[in-house]
Amino acid sequence: MEEWIKQGEDKVYVAKRLKDDIILTTERTDAMRNYATSLLGKNYDIFFNWSDDEIYCSELVWKIYHQTLGMDLCEPRPLRDFDLSHPEVRRIMEQRYGEIIPLKEVMVSPGDLFDSKMLVEVQKPS
């Protein structure tokens, strides 16, 4: 955890959990762990595809809750719904996709997970 925090800007991070964490029984957390373990070894998905062939960070968290608890922490959205106007974003998109950007591809963003009404902040450095 310390290694991960060091990578952040000004070492700022926020930890969140389910508001209704009483539903996290031993059986359910075991199912979450087992599902997550089944995805170990997958390559990181820089193209943000919704398949399980490769997987990216936000997709992993979303799918763990969806597959094991039937909960959608946020609504997956097509790429076209995100603000793609920043020059750095446009440069990365062009670099990854070339001229054919998959604007219909459904994805989950870290920001959408962060803003989930189902989560509550439990730790934030002062």
**Confidence at residue 13, expressed as pLDDT on a 0 to 100 scale:** 84
Q: pLDDT category, 64, cuts 50, 70, 90?
A: very high
Q: What single-letter amino acid sits at 115?
A: D
What is the average per-residue pLDDT within 76-96?
Answer: 93
DSSP string, 9-73: GGG---EEEETTGGG--HHHHHHHHHHHHHTTTPPB-TT--SSSSSB-HHHHHHHHHHHHH---S
Dump pLDDT digits (tens) for 39-55. 999 999 999 999 989 99
Enumerate domains of the chain plus CATH numbers. 14-123 (3.90.1720.10)
Angle 92-46-116 from CA coordinates, rounded to 5°: 95
**Confidence at residue 125, expressed as pLDDT on a 0 to 100 scale:** 60
